[in-house]
A = this chain, B = another copy of it.
Amino acid sequence: KKIVTLAGDGIGPEIMAAGLAVLAAVAPKINFAYTIEAKAFGGAAIDAAGHPLPDDTLAATQSADAILLAAIGGPQYNDAAVRPEQGLLALRKSLGLFANIRPVQIFEALKHLSPLKAEIIEGVDFVVVRELTGGIYFGEHTLNERTARDVNDYSYEEIERIIRIAFDIARGRGKKVTSVDKQNVLATSKLWRIVADEVAKEYPDVTLEHALVDSLAMKMITNPSDFDVIVTENLFGDILSDESSVLPGTLGVMPSASHAENGPSLYEPIHGSAPDIAGLGIANPISMILSVAMMLRDSFGETTGAAYIEHAVHQTLLAGVLTKDLGGQASLSDMTEAIIKHL
Give A120's nearest chain B residue, CB to CB: B115
Q: What 1/0 mask marks residues of chain A from 119 to 134 whose CB sits below 8 Å from any chain B CB?
A: 0100000000000000
By the criterion CB–CB under 8 Å, are B221 and A242 in contact? no
Q: Which chain B positions have C-beta within 8 A of A108?
A: none
Confirm or deny: A81 has a beta carbon within 8 angstroms of a beta carbon on chain B: yes
Across the A-B interface, give the 10 residue pairs with the lowest CB-CB distance, nearest first: A81-B184, A141-B187, A148-B191, A214-B242, A217-B243, A143-B187, A148-B187, A150-B152, A148-B188, A146-B156
Confirm or deny: A24 has a beta carbon within 8 angstroms of a beta carbon on chain B: no
By the criterion CB–CB under 8 Å, are B239 and A191 in contact? no
A147/B143 contact (C-beta < 8 A), A213-B239, A218-B242, A246-B222 known: no
By the criterion CB–CB under 8 Å, are A218 and B245 in contact? yes
Confirm or deny: A84 has a beta carbon within 8 angstroms of a beta carbon on chain B: yes
Interface positions, chain A 224-249, Cβ under 8 Å from B, are 235-236, 238-243, 245-246, 249
A148/B190 contact (C-beta < 8 A), A184-B84, A185-B137 known: yes
Residues of A within 8 A of B (CB): 79-81, 84-85, 89, 115-117, 120, 136-137, 139, 141-143, 145-157, 182, 184-188, 190-192, 212-215, 217-218, 221-222, 235-236, 238-243, 245-246, 249
By the criterion CB–CB under 8 Å, are B148 and A151 in contact? no
By the criterion CB–CB under 8 Å, are A242 and B215 in contact? yes
CA distance A153 to B136 in the complex (A): 12
Q: Which chain B positions have C-beta within 8 A of A184?
A: 79-81, 84
By the criterion CB–CB under 8 Å, are A187 and B115 in contact? no
Contact of A147 (CB < 8 Å), options: B149, B182, B191, B221: B191
By the criterion CB–CB under 8 Å, are A147 and B156 in contact? yes
Q: Which chain B positions have C-beta within 8 A of A187?
A: 141-143, 148-150
